[in-house]
Every structure is written in C-alpha cells, then in structure tokens.
Chains A and B, each alone.
Chain A
Amino acid sequence: MISSTIRVLVVDDEEMILINLVAFLEDEGFSVLSTKSGEEALELLASETVDIAIIDIRLPQMDGDTLIIKAHELQPEMKFLVYTGSVNYTLPKTLMNLGISEEQVFKKPLDDIGVLVQAIHQLIDRKE
C-alpha cells in the first residue's frame, strides 16, 4: 500500500509533538488526522475510518490504553502504535490480547521519527 492511501490518526496532548508528527507523516505522504485527547479521538473515529493510530499513553482524561481498547471496538481492523514518554511503560495484558506487541511500543524521544514510518509500513503491509 502506498503512503497516500494510508490514513493515520495521531493522539498526543503535547502540541509540539503532535504538529511535528503530523508534519513528518504528511511529508511522508500519509493522510493524517490528529486529536489532543482520547475523547476527541473516539468522536472522530465514529465517522472516520483509520488504518493506524499513533497514541500517547499519558493523556489528560482517558488514558491511551483505554483509548486503544475503545478504538478497537469501533474499528477492529485498526492498527496501533504506542508512543509514550513514560519510560517504565509496560504493555498491559489487555492490549497484548488485541495482538499488540512490544515492537509497537516507542519511547519518547526518538532520535529519528523515521522509525515510526517504518513501523507503519510493516504493520499495514503485513495486514495485506
């Protein structure tokens, strides 16, 4: 699948992270949606289909783990990447049950955001 047909949702409450990620992914040709909270993300997912979401864990109200579970209920085909600043983050069992593995967890800061692009392609291409 070429990048332009892949729809990515980015959820992060830190604005600079958010706009930088969006900018990078757009430059890579993805079609990018973004929200600053889990609640907004779920609202968006009610009407928009997304191939993959990059989700921060520490969010203002609903946390990233919960968001992933709810998003999965809405769109079971959707893939997820966890992008967190919490270094002690360990993948909860509930998420592993959804087929999410450690390779899908990224710790901030990344020296090169390019690794996220690679991860997106790997997940989407595997799906095909």
Chain B
Amino acid sequence: MKEVNKSKEQLINELAKMRRRITKLEKLEKQRKRAEVELRNTKDYLDNVIESSLDGIAVSDSWGYILKVNKSFTKLAGREEKEIIGKHAMELSVTEEGTYESTTGELVEIDEEFFNHSIKTMTELYDEGKIFNWETYYLRKDGKVVPVEMNIVYLYSEEGEIIGSVGINRDITGRKRAEKDLKHTKNYLSNVINSMPSVLVSVDCEGRVTEWNLEAEKVTGSTKKEASGQPLDKMIPMFAKQMENISQCIRERKQQKVERILSNIEGETQYLDLMIYPLIVNEVEGAVIRVDDITSRVRIEDMMIQTEKMMSVGGLAAGMAHEINNPLGGILQGAQNIMRRIFHDLPKNIQVAHECGTDLEKIRSYMEKRQIAKFLEGIMTLGRTASRIVANMLEFSRESGNHMSLIPNNLADIIEKTVEIAANDYDLKKHYDFRHIEIVRDYDLDLPEVPCDANRIEQVILNLLKNAAQAMGKDRIQAPRIILRTRQFDKMARIEVEDNGPGIEEKNRKRIFEPFFTTKEVRVGTGLGLSVSYFIITENHKGTITVESSPGKGAKFIIHLPLERRSP
C-alpha cells in the first residue's frame, strides 16, 4: 500500500514502531559501547599486570621470535624493547664460547657444555610443553652476562596447535652471589679444617663419621668419601677404646681430653693427644674429635727429663767418686805394700824375718798354703776395677773445656780408626769376632770437620760398636751388619750407628743411658759405657745422643755434634 493510501491511524502506528526500534537500537549501541570500554579496560588491566610484573615476561610466537616483552624483561636483558622485539629468544642468550663477566662479579666460563645443555632444555620444552626453573644466562648489551631462572610454557590454540610461548624470567644475581658467598665460606671453612695439622673428624650420635679432614685421609689412607657414614672405630681401629668416651661426651655435653695415648702405626711408636667435644647446633648432633701427634714433643720432654735425671745422677756419682778415691787409695797402697813386704827380696824384709827367727821362704810358703797371696791379689785386682769404675764416673762431672780441647777432626777418619780398634779388640774377640760383622759405610763426604776430642769420640763409638757386636753375637744374628752413617743436619754433624741386632725393649730404652743400668750378664758390663758416652757427648761436646729401637728391629744410636763451638 502506498503512503498516500495509508490512513492517518496507520501512519501513527508505524511511527510508534519506528520509535521503539530506535530506542532498541540506541540501547544496543550503548551496550556495545559499554562492552567496548569493558574490553579495553580488561586489556589495559592485563597489560598492566604483565607490565608491572617484577619478573621479566616475554611472549614469543611458535617459532620462538619475541612478540612482546615487559619493562622488567628489557631491564633484565639490558636492552631496549625495540632491540628485543622480533629477535629469537636464543639470540638474547650467549651465542659464543668464552669468558664473560657476570653481574654477580665473578667470571663465567661459557663452553660447549653450556650450549649442549641449552639445546637439551629446548628439546625438553618442545616435548613437555614447559620448562621449570631453568638456570641460564642472558648476554646484556654492555657485554655482561646475567644469571636468570626461566619458566616457559607453550600456548596452544583450541585445536591444540602451538601458537606461541610465554617465558617468565627472574634475575638471580642476588641468589647467585649469596650462593657464591656460601660456597666461598664453605670452602674457606673446609680449608681451615683441612689445613689443620691435626686429624679432625666428627661423628654423629651413633659414632658414624660425618666429617673427615685431609690429615685424617693422610693418616688413615681412607678418603672422606670412604669414611663418611662408617663407624669411627672401623675407620680408625685404635678408637675402639675411645668410643665410650665419645658417647659420654655426647651424653653429658662435656668435652673430654685423653692425653698421651701410645699407638703403634706400622711399627712406629707414636704418642697422641685426643680432644673430644660435643657438636651442638640446635641439639647435640654428635662430637668432634681432634687427634694431635705429640710424638716429637714427648720425645723432647723425655729427653729433658733424661737430661735432668742424668745430671743429678751424674752429680751424685761424681760426688761419690771423690769420697771413694781416698779410701780406695789406702786399700790399694796397703795391698801393694803387703805384697812387697812378703814377696819382694827387699833387704829390710830379709833382715826383719831373720830378727823374728824365721825367713821369707817360710813366710811365703805359709802365705801360699793359706791362699793369702791369692786374697791379696784379689784385693788389688778388684780395687783396680773399682778405681776404673770411679774414674769413669768422674767423666760425669767433667765439664766442657776442662781438661780437653775440641779440635776440628774428620769424623769419618775417627770412625774408621775406631772400627780398626774394634776389629783388634781382644775382649770383644772372646765373645764375638768383630770381623764377622758386615760394616756398611755411608759417610757424607761434604761433611765439614767437627770440633771434638777425637779420643773421646773414639771411646763413644767403640762403646757403641762393642754393644752392637755383643748384642748381635748373643742373639746369634745370621747376617750381622752395622751401618755407619755421617750426615750434616742443620748446624750439627750427625753420626748414626745402626745394627740389625735384637733391638731394645721400650722399658730398657728409657733407662739405657743411666749409670749402672745394664742388661748384660754380670762381669760383661758395668753399666757405665753408655752413661759415660752420654756425658762425653752432652757435657763435653754439648751435643745429643739418642737411640731409636724396637725389639726385633735392631737399634740405631744417633749422635749430634755442633759444627761450631759455642762461645762459653
């Protein structure tokens, strides 16, 4: 129907319909606009979230080319946004091998392994669709590398195709630095522990090894790895006796000290000090044990005690000698006079015998028959023996410089001369022929001349040779051997007389230089030889004489003589 044909009523209806429609359209338009604003708001919001994240966020396409990054990422990568967008993620990382300075302040070595690891991680990403906490480096524009921790996830379309990825990157410079410091501290502490010249081990409450320093490795021959978790007494058998002390220390939280433990490692006598203290962190976690080898200290202490003992014994002996000499003189002279007045044909003897109505023959005959002559000879022989012993004892009080002069001598010459004397010694031949002993000479040809009293050094060495020969003879050693050694040792000349005889027991070794101490049969030795030697070396020459030995291992006497005479 044409407009003109429409009735007024009809037209009014249509108008109303139009108005309704306009209102509806206006409403729809409003709705659309509101939705548009809402959408814009949401996008801004998400952008805002991404942008304000402190972690660096990068969105890449399915090939790995970066589409979008936030501010934190640009800061992290050390580049501007336009330098990043469109680049492949890998291009931001290190692409060439070499040494790089890190933001942590240390130098980082980037090698093939780094790239291999990166490739492996990328493969993992492809297979799994995500990577969790991957630690790698970005290379900044300024040439420094920055350590990052990355989390990457793939984005998928509704059809399940990869359409891109989101990577969240965290700068871990601070953490790396802390780790480095921690590692340094740990290294430092372990160096402190390892540099200690003591064995330092720790155990847990059950006595199993938790710490094991270098010295412990050295002493036991077991590495920390081998020792860790093992019972301590299994690793160090001598600790079997100490396990109770260790438990007590843990139980009572009190440190324990065990001193001067005598141990025998491969035949070497050692003295050890043991310190056990509880290891307390929050609760008692075990105990720390420190073992100090105090062998040399004990040796020095022993030597000092020895010196002191010898000095007092020496003084006593010398004092006694003085007092004995006079009466001994009377005895010897008396006996000599008696012998002369009976057995010598002095005119006076003949005259007095005659006056007494007898003669010397009768008197002598009586004396012989009643063995009086023999008794007298006994008095004289034994008196002379006593006199010799006293003379030896007097060596103890002889001081340096008194009665003797120390003249430079070649030690090897003195030793050779002494060997000659020993080979011809009649007394020695009776018990053991010195010529059956193999003599090994090991002289230091560069040893300078040593100021000494040649006769007395001869006396000392002869005494050592005789002792060695007697000891080896008594024990019937199959291939007896004496090694004679000279060396220069610091500012000292060192003489060693070593045999392969039966050796000396520890209890005897300690007393070996004491006057009158002897293990020889009665009449074979007076017990003065070594003590006289001791005083000759220590007092007259200001040197030292010591002995190293253990049963079955032979004996080694060591003499040190100063190369320079100390001014008094």
Contacts and interface: CB of A to CB of B under 8 A. Distances in A.
Interface of A: 14, 16-17, 20-21, 23-24, 26-27, 85-88, 90, 107-113
B348 A110 contact: no
Given A23-B337, A87-B322, A111-B387, 15 more contacts: A16-B330, A17-B326, A17-B329, A20-B333, A20-B336, A24-B340, A27-B337, A27-B341, A27-B348, A85-B322, A87-B397, A107-B325, A108-B325, A109-B331, A109-B387
A37 to B, nearest CB: 16
B129 interface: no
Contacts of A111: 332, 384, 387
7 contacts: A16-B327, A20-B337, A86-B322, A109-B387, A111-B384, A111-B387, A112-B336
A62 to B, nearest CB: 18
Contact of B325 (A16, A26, A109): A109
The 9 nearest A-B residue pairs measured at CB: A16-B330, A109-B329, A20-B333, A108-B329, A85-B325, A85-B326, A109-B328, A87-B394, A108-B325
Interface string B58-98: 00000000000000000000000000000000000000000
A109 B333 CA distance: 8
B461 to A, nearest CB: 24
B346 interface: yes
Contacts of A14: 326-327, 329-330
Interface in B282-334: 318, 321-322, 325-334
B478 interface: no
Nearest to B384: A111
A87 B325 contact: yes
Report the interface size class on chain B.
Answer: 20 to 34
A85 B328 CA distance: 10
B543 interface: no
B402 interface: yes
Interface of B: 318, 321-322, 325-334, 336-337, 340-341, 344, 346, 348, 383-384, 387, 391, 394, 397-398, 402-403
B325 A24 contact: no
Nearest to A16: B330
A87 B326 CA distance: 11
B318 to A, nearest CB: 8
A108 B321 CA distance: 11
A27 B340 contact: yes
A113 B387 CA distance: 14
A16 B340 contact: no
A55 to B, nearest CB: 14
Contacts of A27: 337, 340-341, 344, 346, 348
Contacts of A17: 326, 329-330, 333
A52 to B, nearest CB: 18
Contact of A20 (B330, B387, B397, B403): B330
A86 to B, nearest CB: 7
A127 B327 CA distance: 34
A43 to B, nearest CB: 24
Nearest to B394: A87
Contact of B334 (A20, A85, A107, A110): A20
Counting chain A CB atoms within 10 Å of each CB, the highest count among B333, B341, B387, B402 belongs to B333
A24 B336 contact: yes
Contacts of A110: 329, 332-333
Contacts of A109: 325, 328-329, 331-333, 383, 387
A90 B383 CA distance: 25
Nearest to B334: A20
A88 B387 CA distance: 16
A108 B384 contact: no
B321 A87 contact: yes
